[in-house]
């Protein structure tokens, strides 16, 4: 009772000091921090700084650092899942400068000692040189404002993080160089896998491969701290009675408990940590931030084709590297060997026999024996030939890291009729690495689910390089569809992360101009669908961002494709005699709820596209006038208003939030859209300067030399 009264007193004190933020549900109150120094703030009465635990947050841009800090603050203030309120440390926007917030006011059972959170801007927002400058700024900040040192370093990495690029490894691996005692850094370093939805952590392999050393790792899903109570959990009718009876917990409650447990273990672990101070001076010379060896001595070595001794070569996109499909006999020849092959279950059993088992996967994963179509490079087929005119062609588009590849894999399993309790899974591609080339896969399918065959067209992620490279990729997509799927596209899937914040100008531009690929621009929204990946409930922050950007689509679906590949130990026993009990036990697990949510989205999506009329890509061949070619080819690089899904006014960020990069991209986009006007402005400006020069020369009275 005493603890309840103390918590009530603490909450009343904090809520009285501020007003609830409008539009937030549950009610959210900004914390009344007071400034101590420039960029340093405290909550409550000052205590001895030497007793304070200093926690440094580091991570790449978009890794979930800010949300992690907000959720940790609510944990430290005693917030529980059922509480009808939350607290907010900072405004909802990306971190632009280094700040620290000290919690003298706190729940002392959760935070025995005062805690300071040092938040930093995300790395990899610009060049490597800018990241090195940021590291130096962090060193100076800690040296001047927290001279005692750092008790814990949190590396925030998205749980779904794919393989790190060389620059990302370089930055993360060299953060330790700002500290005095580099050998002890591992003892105070902790890895937080953000946006986690289970105990499966793909990011661990990525981080270990990069050579980043840390003491412990934790799985968290910070957004579960800020979800409206009536949005929690799965909404299927089958589970409603069990939920009312208390047998079935919601998705967000399970994620909240997982996150809270991670916070509790983390703060218990750092109580006795000794602080490590930063260097007095930066390391001199060009070796200030030496390049990280991607093969640290403690991390497993992964073999890559054509790999040298010191350099990791990324996937080159060659068909034999990225898509090692095993040659197998045609499935239709085996169909007559056994009467059970007349059923789809029989086909799946034969499919497993003909597939290659991928080592190290749990549940066991079988690499599907797709057969390349000789006359169409990049096209693969599973099963016998069928009429292409009956095939539903689905195009997957998205930014790098949006979850396209995992979505493709999960959709493939859904098409093949895989259920949650099945002790196996199928894989379309051997590796989960980034897609390097455009490919299409036509599936054998369960005809009870799919009357028509389905082709999934996978594409490399946008935003891997410059805007010019994205235009080139659009041209390649146009060429691939035009030559290999001339019938057209029945559905376009825009893949975005459910936690995606405000879209950047480049992202809006790329998504907006994708309609240029197709002939009937006005019909593109009719076959466009938004898939919100890594979803963990019904709340989808990205929907607001997409609507703000003006991207038009027909329907949106929440999916969590990784739930299709949960480990066997998370799925329970797979023995036949316990199958009924097994199904009942799984109904309340996080992965089962996410699997059901994802499967329902797939069902609704495929039901919706059955009657879609395909849209062909544009014909870019030279146009004919009067029966003769005019010699002019159309181009995708000259956008017109009719083909753009995004209104140009909405493509320009508000002036107060506009960066120099935004301004440059807006200016470039204006030139592309108005080339004649741009030329006229340049010529007119030049003529004006000439006239001004003549005027000055005439009336300033230059003396003639006789």
Say if residue 643's pLDDT is above 70: no
Residues 56-70 have a mean pLDDT of 87
pLDDT of residue 110: 92
User: 480 CB contacts (<8 Å, ≥6 apart)?
Assistant: 378, 438, 440, 457
Give the integer Cα–Cα distance in Å for 487 and 684: 48
Residues 524-532 have a mean pLDDT of 92
| DSSP assignment letter at 466 | -
**Coil, helix or strand at residue 628:** strand
| More confident: 388 or 30 | 30
CA nearest 567: which of 361, 705, 390, 420?
Answer: 361
Per-residue pLDDT of 168-205, as tens digits, reads 677 766 777 888 887 788 899 999 999 887 666 778 87
Q: Residue 345: which pLDDT band, with cuts at 50, 70 and 90?
A: low
Q: Residue 541: which pLDDT band, with cuts at 50, 70 and 90?
A: confident
- Contact in structure between 358 and 324 (CB atoms under 8 Å): no
What is the pairing mode between strands 439-443 and 454-458?
A: antiparallel
| More confident: 659 or 73 | 73
- The answer to whether 34-274 and 376-609 have equal CATH topology is yes
Mean per-residue pLDDT of the chain: 75
Say if residue 230's pLDDT is above 80: no
Structural tokens at position 283: 């390391």
- As a dihedral over the C-alpha atoms of residue 145, residue 122, residue 548, residue 231, rounded to 10 degrees, the angle is -80
Q: Is the peptide bond before 26 cis (omega within 30 degrees of 0)?
A: yes
CA nearest 35: which of 111, 102, 109?
Answer: 102
- Contact in structure between 180 and 279 (CB atoms under 8 Å): yes
Give the integer Cα–Cα distance in Å for 132 and 123: 9
Identify the CATH number of the domain defined by range 34-274. 3.40.50.300
CA nearest 593: which of 234, 196, 231?
Answer: 234
Residues 210-239 have a mean pLDDT of 72
Q: Residue 309: which pLDDT band, with cuts at 50, 70 and 90?
A: very low
Cα–Cα separations (whole angstroms), residue 552 to 353, 362, 492, 521, 542: 44, 39, 12, 12, 14
Per-residue pLDDT of 369-414, as tens digits, reads 888 887 777 888 887 666 667 789 999 998 888 888 899 999 999 9
Give the integer Cα–Cα distance in Å for 531 and 557: 5
Identify the CATH number of the domain defined by range 376-609. 3.40.50.300
Most confident segment among 157-171, 354-368, 405-419, 436-450: 405-419
Say if residue 290's pLDDT is above 60: no
Burial 26-62 (b: 16+ CB within 10 A, else e): bebbbbebeeeeeebbbbbeeeeeeebbbbbbbbbeb
Q: Is the peptide bond before 686 cis (omega within 30 degrees of 0)?
A: no
Q: Residue 452: which pLDDT band, with cuts at 50, 70 and 90?
A: confident
Cα–Cα separations (whole angstroms), residue 605 to 344, 461, 543, 610: 22, 22, 17, 9
Per-residue pLDDT of 129-183, as tens digits, reads 788 888 889 999 999 999 899 999 999 988 877 666 666 677 766 777 888 887 7
Give the integer Cα–Cα distance in Å for 378 and 380: 7
Q: Where are the beta strands (DSSP E) in 474-579?
A: 491-497, 528-533, 555-558
pLDDT of residue 673: 60
Give the integer Cα–Cα distance in Å for 254 and 466: 41
pLDDT of residue 301: 34
Per-residue pLDDT of 665-696, as tens digits, reads 556 666 666 677 778 888 888 888 888 888 88
Say if residue 333's pLDDT is above 50: no
CA nearest 397: which of 310, 250, 515, 281?
Answer: 515
Say if residue 461's pLDDT is above 70: yes
Say if residue 336's pLDDT is above 50: no
| More confident: 415 or 587 | 415
User: 382 CB contacts (<8 Å, ≥6 apart)?
Assistant: 368, 369, 370, 371, 441, 442, 443, 444
**Coil, helix or strand at residue 560:** coil
pTM: 0.59
Q: Residue 300: which pLDDT band, with cuts at 50, 70 and 90?
A: very low
Q: Tell me which of 263-272, 361-370, 413-422, 674-683 is least confident.
A: 674-683
Using alpha carbons only, give the angle 162, 168, 171 rounded to the nearest 5 degrees. Answer: 150
pLDDT of residue 657: 43
Q: Where are the beta strands (DSSP E) in 449-576?
A: 454-458, 491-497, 528-533, 555-558
* Domain boundaries, given as residue ranges, for the chain: 34-274, 376-609
Say if residue 272's pLDDT is above 70: yes
| More confident: 585 or 303 | 585
**% the chain with pLDDT above 90:** 24
Residues 618-646 have a mean pLDDT of 50
Say if residue 456's pLDDT is above 70: yes
């Amino acid at each position: 009772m005493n603890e309840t009264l103390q918590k009530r007193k603490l909450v009343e004190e904090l809520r009285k000091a501020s007003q609830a933020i409008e539009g937030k549900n549950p009610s959210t109150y900004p914390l009344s921090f007071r400034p101590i120094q420039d960029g340093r703030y405290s909550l409550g009465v000052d205590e001895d700084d030497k007793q304070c635990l200093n926690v440094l947050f580091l991570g790449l841009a978009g890794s979930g650092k800010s949300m992690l800090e907000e959720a940790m603050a609510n944990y430290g203030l005693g917030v529980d899942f059922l509480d009808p309120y939350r607290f907010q440390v900072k405004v909802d926007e990306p971190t632009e400068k280094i700040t620290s917030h000290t919690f003298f006011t706190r729940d002392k059972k959760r935070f025995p000692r005062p805690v300071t959170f040092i938040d930093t801007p995300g790395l990899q927002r610009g060049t490597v040189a800018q990241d090195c400058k940021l590291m130096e700024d962090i060193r100076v900040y800690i040296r001047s404002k927290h001279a005692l040192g750092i008790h814990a370093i949190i590396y925030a990495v998205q749980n779904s993080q794919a393989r790190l690029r060389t620059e990302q490894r370089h930055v993360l691996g060299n953060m330790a160089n700002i500290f005095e005692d580099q050998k002890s850094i591992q003892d105070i370093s902790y890895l937080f896998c953000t946006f986690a939805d289970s105990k499966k952590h793909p990011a661990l392999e990525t981080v270990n491969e990069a050579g980043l050393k840390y003491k412990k790792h934790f799985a968290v899903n910070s957004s579960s701290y800020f979800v409206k109570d009536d949005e929690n959990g799965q909404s299927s009718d089958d589970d409603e009675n069990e939920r009312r009876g208390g047998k079935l917990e919601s998705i967000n409650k399970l994620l909240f408990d997982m996150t809270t447990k991670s916070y509790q273990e983390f703060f218990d672990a750092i109580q006795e940590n000794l602080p490590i101070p930063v260097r007095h001076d930066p390391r001199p010379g060009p070796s200030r931030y030496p390049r990280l060896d991607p093969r640290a001595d403690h991390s497993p070595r992964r073999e890559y084709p054509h790999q040298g001794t010191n350099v990791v070569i990324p996937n080159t996109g060659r068909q034999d590297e990225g898509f090692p499909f095993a040659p197998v006999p045609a499935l239709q020849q085996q169909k007559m060997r056994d009467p059970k092959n007349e059923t789809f279950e029989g086909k799946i059993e034969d499919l497993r026999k003909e597939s290659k088992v991928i080592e190290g996967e749990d549940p066991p994963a079988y690499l599907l024996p797709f057969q390349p179509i000789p006359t169409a490079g990049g096209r693969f087929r599973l099963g016998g030939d069928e009429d292409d005119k009956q095939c539903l062609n689905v195009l997957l588009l998205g930014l790098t890291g949006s979850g396209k590849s995992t979505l493709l894999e999960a959709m493939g399993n859904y098409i093949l009729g895989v259920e949650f309790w099945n002790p196996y899974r199928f894989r379309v591609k051997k590796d989960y690495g980034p897609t390097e080339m455009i490919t299409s896969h036509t599936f054998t399918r369960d005809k009870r689910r799919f009357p028509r065959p389905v082709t999934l067209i996978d594409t490399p992620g946008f935003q891997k390089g410059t805007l010019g490279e994205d235009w080139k990729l659009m041209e390649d997509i146009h060429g691939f569809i035009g030559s290999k799927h001339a019938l057209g596209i029945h559905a376009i899937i825009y893949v975005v992360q459910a936690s995606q914040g405000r879209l950047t100008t480049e992202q809006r531009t790329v998504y907006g101009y994708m309609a240029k690929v197709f002939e009937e621009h006005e019909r593109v929204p009719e076959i466009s669908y938004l898939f919100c990946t890594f979803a963990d409930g019904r709340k989808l922050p990205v929907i607001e961002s997409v609507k703000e950007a003006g991207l038009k689509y027909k329907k949106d679906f929440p999916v969590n494709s990784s739930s299709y590949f949960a480990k066997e130990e998370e799925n329970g026993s797979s023995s036949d005699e316990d199958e009924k009990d097994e199904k009942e036990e799984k109904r309340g697990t996080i992965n089962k709820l996410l699997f059901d949510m994802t499967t329902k989205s797939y069902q609704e999506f495929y039901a919706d596209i059955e009657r879609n009329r395909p849209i062909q890509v544009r014909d870019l061949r030279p146009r004919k006038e009067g029966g003769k070619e005019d010699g002019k080819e159309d181009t995708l690089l000259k956008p017109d208003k009719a083909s753009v899904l995004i209104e140009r006014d909405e493509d320009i960020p508000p002036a107060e939030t506009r960066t120099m990069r935004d301004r440059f991209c807006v200016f470039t986009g204006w030139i592309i859209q108005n080339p004649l006007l741009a030329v006229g402005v340049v010529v007119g400006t030049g003529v004006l300067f000439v006239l001004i020069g003549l005027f000055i020369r005439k009336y300033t009275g230059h003396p003639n030399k006789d």
